[in-house]
Amino acid sequence: MHKQSERLWERGMSRRTLLGMGWKGMLGLCLAALPGCDRRQEAPKAPENTAAQGPRKGFVTPTPSPWYSQLSNGRVRCELCPNQCTIEPGERGVCRVRENRDQSLYTLAFGNPVVVQDDPVERNPFFHVRPGTRSLSLSTAGCNLACRFCEVWDMALVAPEDVYAHNMPPQRVLEHAQATNVGAVCYSFGEPVVFYEYMAAMASLVKEAGMLNLMQTAGYIQPEPLAELLPYLDAVNIDLKGFDPTFYREAVGGDLDPVLQTLKQVRAAGIHIEITNLLIPTLNDDMETIGAMCRWIRDELGPDVPLHFGRFYPLYKLIDLPRTPVATLDQARQTALQAGLRYVYVARVPGHEGEDTYCPNCGETIIDREGFMIDFVHVDNGRCRYCQTEIPGHFI
């Protein structure tokens, strides 16, 4: 099965090439205090819409951010994510896109996406959101984490001036989405938390236009800004990169607990949630830890939350590690199913039975997949066609 999966993976890549997806997109498969002003400053305003001029290197439109507090000596503290960077005058936070200008916080990730492309919704991955349809994927430069296994490091772990970006204010994104006839806009690839203001402005327009807002994120965000964003979101896929705090600190560059809190907050808001866990040999593929993670998901979020186990490919600072054996993915999937999770997937191994969706009640295959290709969907009005069991997610 291993060799067959290898051949199917190659075939899946060629299909995506035929769909016009570049190599960066393929990598995307798979980033003291004194009392001061209140963090909720005036709402940022979008830059004026201008004609498209093609991607330009160094293109930024500095935009005020509301998520900060003023400190002494001209410093500010960013209140958007758990890093809570203290930023000196003229300097930036660890995300590379938030800058202290005259003791006010500005974002340089507004209206300047690096990636704007039409994708299968399964790519992000969302397996329970209108299977077989397409979404507009969008991301800017920057990330508030520093994963050693980052798949888009040349986009996420750089400053916005260092990459080519499009001039696309929120209204222009909406017009592009409508012109391409997609059913959703997905904020993904890099880390949408760092372009929070841009995403929020777009999400409002997208929702008003009757399309879905999807977010694929590492979940490294403070509760208050997340709470303001959630009413506009329809589905969220969160990268739970591991279940060991030491792994998070050393390989991800952050803490585990804020991500767990984000998962619970999204779930409590009643928003459809899916989880991705990339299994990296020797670093986060211990089955005992995976079992603990699956039991936490079952107990804290519920057994119906879809879980995607992703296959690691050597990239960035972990090029010396092997790709994840299919046997490890199989074992992880069985561990999750034994823990009581009902929808467990194997990602990035096209042709694997773990790509398909099975009804947890009658056992019938209700969504058949190969890579990003959908052969059939036997879900009618959100229920299994065979036994009428309710299936979580958004279905046409």
Give residue-wise pLDDT tens across range 121-133.
999 999 999 999 9
Give the integer Cα–Cα distance in Å for 172 and 178.
10
Of 8-22, 116-130, 190-204, which gets the smallest average pLDDT? Answer: 8-22
Give percent of the chain above pLDDT 70: 87
204 domain-assigned:
yes
Q: Coil, strand or helix: which one is 148?
A: coil
The letter for the amino acid at 258 is P
Give the integer Cα–Cα distance in Å for 363 and 25.
34
* Whether pLDDT at 5 is above 70: no
- If one counts the domains in the chain, the total is 1
74 domain-assigned:
no
Instruction: For residue 57, list its beta bridge partners.
Output: 164
41 domain-assigned:
no
| Residue 343 belongs to domain with CATH number | 3.20.20.70
Say what the pLDDT of residue 54 is.
80
* Whether pLDDT at 26 is above 70: no
Q: For residue 193, give the nearest of 86, 80, 270 by alpha carbon.
A: 80
The pLDDT tens digits for 265-289 are 999 999 999 999 999 999 999 999 9
Say what the pLDDT of residue 396 is.
86
217 domain-assigned:
yes
379 domain-assigned:
yes
Say what the pLDDT of residue 53 is.
62
Higher pLDDT, 350 or 300: 300
The pLDDT tens digits for 84-131 are 999 999 999 999 999 999 999 999 999 999 999 999 999 999 999 999
Give the integer Cα–Cα distance in Å for 182 and 118.
8
Give the integer Cα–Cα distance in Å for 40 and 327.
49
81 domain-assigned:
no
The letter for the amino acid at 135 is S
Please report how many Cα atoms fall inside a 13 Å half-sphere around the Cα of residue 158, on the Cβ side: 15
93-111 core/surface letters (b: 16 or more CB in 10 A; e: else): bbbbbbbbeebebbbbbbb
**How many DSSP H helices and E strands does the chain contain?**
10, 21
Higher pLDDT, 14 or 196: 196
146 domain-assigned:
yes
What is the pTM (predicted TM-score) of this model? 0.87
The boundaries of the domain holding residue 219 are 2-30+112-384
